[in-house]
Structure 1
Amino acid sequence: MKPAKAAPASPAPKPPAKAAARKIRRRLGRGSLVLIATLFATSGMIRFGSGIAEAFATGSESSQEAAPPAAGAECVTEPGVLMMLQEVQAREKKLAEREKLLTDRSQAIGMAEKRIEQRLASLVEAEQNLSKTVTIADEAADQDVARLVTVYENMKPKEAAPLFSAMAPDFAAGFLTRMRPDASAAVMAALDPQVAYSISVIMAGRNAGAPQK
């Protein structure tokens, strides 16, 4: 018969101090791992947050750059377009100046025309007043001449003859023409023949150029 195998001997129990030390080491190892993981996570969050902040800053800058220029800001254009714009603005300025000059000239011409019209109206009024004055004077003169003619007609020919001899031939011819034929004939008969002849020539020549019927 084979001899029976002996049962394995059970391990000797570990001392309590060593077991406690192992447990403490395991706990410390796990705590270190948790601490390291926490540090990595915190670092990642910080980097992620800074990345987000940079992204927001970059986005705001790009949005500010892409935003349209505010009112009054100068638009950056190509040199050729800017030169054309300046030429158009210069022409518009010249046209505005010419338009203003034409407007001023038109106003000046209008004022001058009004003054001329006022002066013409004043001249017309003065001419009318002068014409009335002349008419009144002519009427008064005619009345005076008519009175003198009446006076000379009522005078005796011998008394009127010296007066007509002292007058200028034209003036005497005017009175004698207005007098009645018989009175003028009596005065002419009383005049010196030479004076009477001169007056007769003037009286005859007054209507010489008048049209004949």
Structure 2
Amino acid sequence: MKRARPRFRMRPRGTLAVIAALLVASALVRLGDGAGRAMARTDTTAGEAPAPGETPADLQRLLDDMMAREARLAEDEAALADRRAALALVDAETARKLDELAAAEESLRRTVAIAETAAEDDIARLTRVYETMKPKEAAALFEQMDARFAAGFLARMRPEAAAGIMAGLSPGAAHTISVVLAGRNAARE
């Protein structure tokens, strides 16, 4: 036996269609009413509609404020451009001065090297002069010198020449110069 399937009958949906149509009509009326009011509304101080080509006072003030701000911004941009140009000039001048300073420093370094070499040459020449002098005559000169200065020359001399000069010095001067020489040697070790 076959079971019969229950059949669903289509009920008339007319009621639902009517309700939906009423809701759509209500929405259209509300939209149309709001649009009509929006078009009819005017915003003027005297209550009159603005003349063609004329803007309402609030919009005119806003436009004036925006134009003033734009003018201030243009002035600020011009000032910034001037500052950038001035900074570029200062940067270029600073770079040029640094290059000049570097060149002067190099020149000074060469001059100092020449002066040090010349001073060293002069001291070496003077040391040779003292070495070739008779020890008694050189000792008389060394007696008058500052002990550190005399010790500097004696340290550069050949040991035989330095010994001859030290033998010609007074015991006090020889002692002082010996202490300076020993102090230099101790500082090196």
Output the TM-score relative to the length of structure 1: 0.59
Alpha-carbon separation, structure 2, partners of 1:209 and 1:109:
54
- Structure 1 stretches of at least 4 aligned residues deviating more than 6 Å after TM superposition: none
Which of these residues, 166, 179, 182, is aligned with residue 201 of structure 1?
A: 179
Q: Does 1:99 align with 2:77?
A: yes
Aligned positions of 1:61-140 closer than 5 A? 75-140=53-118
1:184 partner amino acid: A
Match of 1:179 among 151, 157, 169: 157
Instruction: State the Cα distance separating 1:201 from its structure 2 match.
Output: 2.0
- What is the CA-CA distance between 1:86 and the residue it aligns to? 1.0
The CA deviation at 1:168 is 1.7
Amino acid at match of 2:174: A
Q: CA RMSD in A?
A: 1.6
- Aligned with residue 146 of structure 1, among 96, 119, 124: 124
Q: Shift in Å at residue 209 of structure 1?
A: 3.7
Partner Cα separation in structure 2 for residue 208 and residue 91 of structure 1: 80
Q: Give the Cα–Cα distance (whole angstroms) in 1 for the partners of residues 154 and 64 of structure 2.
A: 92
Q: Distance in 1 between matches of 2:176 and 2:92?
A: 57
* 1:188 equivalent in alignment to 2:157: no
- Partner residue in 2 for 1:39: none
Aligned pairs, number: 137
List gaps (5 residues or longer) in structure 1: 1-74
- Secondary structure of the 1:206 match is helix
What is the alpha-carbon distance in structure 2 between the residues aligned to residue 88 and residue 185 of structure 1?
A: 98
Amino acid at match of 2:156: R
Q: Which amino acid aligns with 2:184?
A: R
What is the rounded CA distance, in whole Å, between the counterparts of 1:179 and 1:187 in structure 2?
10
**What residue ranges of structure 2 are gaps of 5+ in the alignment?**
1-52
Specify the alignment match of 1:70 in structure 2.
none
Larger radius of gyration: 1
State the alpha-carbon separation in 1 of the partners of residues 96 and 183 from structure 2: 46
What is the CA–CA distance in structure 1 between the aligned matches of 2:187 and 2:85, rounded to whole Å? 55
Distance in 1, matches of 2:120 and 2:179, equals 24
Residue 208 of structure 1, CA deviation: 3.6
Match of 1:158 among 136, 140, 145: 136
TM-score (norm 2): 0.66
Q: Percent identical across equivalent pairs? A: 48
The offset of 1:205, in angstroms, is 2.1
1:163 Cα deviation from its structure 2 partner: 1.1
Deviation at 1:207, TM superposition (A): 4.5
